[in-house]
């Protein structure tokens, strides 16, 4: 069952468009990855959906949570959804925590706001949540301030704050980027466990395709303010069809040693103020034709269930005897 439905979401800052019409669904309980190079619009998509962009941003389109429209809705309604039904954690936990309040107080604020708990109950629940996210000696540490926690522990506190509203969906925006490798793995493990235990859905925004592959059911690939390919994680990893998706996968090391040379994608993401006409990826794409430089491909359903926006996709390889997969000439 679909929980969040985003349709034709567009965002512009000072007249410069950075999102060009995003269509995206999140089903109840699923883990959806959102990947793409820096500046593609991954964060802006969810900040716009949850009413967190600055006033200068112009936002249009539709974002519904089980049928309830958020775009253009009253601030109180959007605030009720944010932190309640949908919670978000960010890359740098230290900048999201208030340095002059104990972590217990900050978790308690969320509990009072979204679950209407009294003071005594919030303390008990804050300790339970800190324990749940793996903070040792939670009964004592609930009274400490953020600077008394390590970076990884601060991110665990952020997760506890996010869980305080018992969200149906957790948006995790690069939640491990600021942490070192061992701690990254622990936080990913924590998120995967919590999802299993609570049944909440998760949107995992990341540059780390390995992590996305490990914890997500589906993945959306964004490029220059558009979704260019989406599908089930297995199919996308086995047979990326958009040349950009293919490029992202070619740029990551494989543990099985099948690829020993990383192939970077040439060039950079275009500046939103100087977008190329036609397909935004065409200037970097070895398959681009003249047509690609003049027309923008729409995101279309494919026979294998994925969605793809490309005039010259990578050929689908027929891996089964009776495969229905369309063979597209490269
Ligand atoms: N407050 C803002 N004012 C103006 N432009 C903005 C603002 N926030 C984001 N942008 C622009 O919107 C575009 C999309 O940014 P966004 O942060 O969503 O990218 P991203 O894919 O999440 O990148 P990263 O992986 O680096 O976080 C970028 O061109 C960015 O410069």
Give which of 263, 244, 233 is closest to 310, Cα–Cα.
244
The answer to whether residues 314 and 330 touch, using CB atoms and an 8 Å cutoff, is: yes
* Residue appearing with tokens 């253009």: 72
- Predicted local distance difference test score (pLDDT) of residue 186: 85
Whole-number Å distance, alpha carbon 130 to ligand 1 midpoint, is 32
The answer to whether residues 4 and 86 touch, using CB atoms and an 8 Å cutoff, is: yes
Distance (Å, rounded) from C-alpha 8 to C-alpha 76?
Answer: 24
- Predicted local distance difference test score (pLDDT) of residue 254: 62
* Residue appearing with tokens 């009964």: 139
* Residue appearing with tokens 């003071």: 119
- Predicted local distance difference test score (pLDDT) of residue 322: 42
Q: Which of 43, 90, 270 to mutate to test the pocket of ligand 1 (most atoms within 8 A of CB)?
A: 43
Mean pLDDT over residues 277-300, rounded?
93
**CA nearest ligand 1 atom 24, residue:** 38
Q: How far is CA 287 from CA 21, 184, 241, 251, in A?
A: 24, 36, 12, 18
Q: Which of 44, 92, 212 to mutate to test the pocket of ligand 1 (most atoms within 8 A of CB)?
A: 44
Helix, strand or coil, per DSSP, at residue 68: strand
Number of neighbours of residue 21 by Cβ within 10 angstroms:
17
Position 92 pLDDT exceeds 80: no
- pLDDT tens across 37-56, in order? 989 999 999 999 999 999 89
Whole-number Å distance, alpha carbon 310 to ligand 1 midpoint, is 24
**CA nearest ligand 1 atom 3, residue:** 13
Helix, strand or coil, per DSSP, at residue 59: strand
Backbone angles phi, psi at 128, to 5 degrees: -60, -45
Question: Within the chain, what is the greatest distance between any pair of CA atoms?
Answer: 67
| pLDDT tier at 257, thresholds 50, 70, 90 | low
| H-helix or E-strand spanning residue 18 | strand 16-27
- pLDDT tens across 193-230, in order? 989 989 999 999 998 888 899 899 999 999 999 999 99
Distance (Å, rounded) from C-alpha 255 to C-alpha 234?
Answer: 16
Whole-number Å distance, alpha carbon 128 to ligand 1 midpoint, is 36
Instruction: Output the DSSP codes for 169-202.
Output: EEEEESTTTTS-HHHHHHHHHHHHHHHHHH--EE
The answer to whether residues 201 and 215 touch, using CB atoms and an 8 Å cutoff, is: no
| pLDDT tier at 325, thresholds 50, 70, 90 | very low
Whole-number Å distance, alpha carbon 13 to ligand 1 midpoint, is 10
Alpha helices in the chain (DSSP H): 42-49, 75-81, 93-96, 103-115, 119-132, 138-141, 151-164, 181-198, 209-215, 233-238, 243-250
Helix, strand or coil, per DSSP, at residue 231: strand
**CA nearest ligand 1 atom 6, residue:** 13
ipTM of the modeled complex:
0.97
Give which of 194, 193, 203 is closest to 164, Cα–Cα.
194
| pLDDT tier at 93, thresholds 50, 70, 90 | confident
Give which of 34, 95, 73 is closest to 233, Cα–Cα.
34
| pLDDT tier at 323, thresholds 50, 70, 90 | very low
The larger pLDDT score, comparing residue 277 to residue 252, is at 277
**Which residues lie closer than 8 Å to 54 by C-beta, 6 or more apart?**
none
Q: Which of 12, 13, 24 to mutate to test the pocket of ligand 1 (most atoms within 8 A of CB)?
A: 13
Distance (Å, rounded) from C-alpha 88 to C-alpha 159?
Answer: 9
Mean pLDDT over residues 17-23, rounded?
96
Distance (Å, rounded) from C-alpha 245 to C-alpha 119?
Answer: 49
Distance (Å, rounded) from C-alpha 330 to C-alpha 325?
Answer: 14
Distance (Å, rounded) from C-alpha 51 to C-alpha 45?
Answer: 10
The answer to whether residues 152 and 187 touch, using CB atoms and an 8 Å cutoff, is: yes
Number of neighbours of residue 26 by Cβ within 10 angstroms:
24
| Nearest atom within ligand 1 for CA of residue 207 | 25
């Amino acid at each position: 069952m679909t929980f969040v439905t985003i349709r034709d979401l567009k965002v512009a800052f000072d007249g410069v468009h950075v999102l060009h019409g995003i269509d995206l669904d999140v089903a109840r309980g699923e883990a959806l990855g959102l990947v793409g190079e820096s500046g593609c619009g991954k964060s802006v998509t969810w900040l716009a959906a949850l009413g967190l962009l600055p006033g200068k941003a112009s936002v249009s389109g539709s974002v519904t949570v089980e049928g309830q429209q958020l775009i253009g809705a009253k601030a109180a309604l959007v605030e009720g959804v944010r932190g309640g039904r949908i919670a978000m954690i960010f890359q740098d936990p230290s900048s999201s925590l208030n340095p002059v309040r104990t972590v217990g107080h900050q978790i308690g604020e969320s509990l009072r706001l979204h679950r209407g708990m009294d003071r005594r109950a919030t303390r008990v629940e804050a300790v339970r949540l800190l324990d749940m996210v793996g903070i040792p000696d939670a009964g004592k540490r609930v009274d400490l301030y953020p600077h008394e926690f390590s970076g990884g522990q601060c991110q665990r506190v952020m997760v506890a704050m996010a869980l305080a509203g018992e969200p149906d969906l957790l948006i995790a925006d690069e939640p491990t980027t600021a942490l070192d490798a061992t701690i990254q793995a622990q936080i990913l493990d924590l998120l995967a466990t919590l999802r299993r235990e609570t049944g909440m859905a998760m949107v995992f925004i990341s540059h780390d395709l390995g992590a996305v592959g490990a914890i997500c059911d589906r993945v959306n690939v964004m490029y220059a303010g558009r979704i260019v390919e989406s599908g089930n994680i297995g199919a996308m990893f086995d047979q990326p069809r958009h040349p950009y998706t293919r490029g992202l996968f070619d740029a990551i090391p494989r543990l099985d040693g099948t690829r020993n040379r990383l192939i970077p994608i040439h060039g950079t993401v275009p500046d939103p103020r100087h977008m190329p006409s036609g397909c935004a990826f065409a200037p970097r794409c070895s398959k681009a034709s003249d047509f690609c430089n003049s027309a923008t491909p729409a995101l279309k359903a494919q026979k294998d269930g994925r969605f793809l926006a490309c005039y010259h996709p990578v050929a689908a390889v027929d891996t089964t005897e009776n495969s229905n997969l369309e063979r597209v000439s490269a």
